[in-house]
Amino acid sequence: MADTTDSNTTVLVAGSHGQVGQHVTTELVASDHAVRAMVRADDQVEEMEA
């Protein structure tokens, strides 16, 4: 990932419910980035919001 000081960056994570995507999403949120997450099934959205 590129190192940036802009904490207002919005990042799209495709496959955010997968093994790697979950870790990437967690790190981005911890770094104060806004994250848009793509998942395959609607029930995965509820799991990601938790």
Closest to 14 in 3D by CA, of 6, 4, 24: 24
pTM for the structure as a whole? 0.69
CB-based burial of residue 29 (10 Å sphere; 0-12 exposed, 13-18 middle, 19+ buried)?
A: middle
Query: For residue 1, what pLDDT is reported?
Result: 59
User: 5-49: per-residue pLDDT in tens?
Assistant: 655 789 999 999 899 999 999 999 999 999 999 988 888 887 777
Question: Are β-strands 34-38 and 10-14 bridged in parallel, bridged antiparallel, or unpaired?
Answer: parallel
Structure tokens at 9: 């960056």
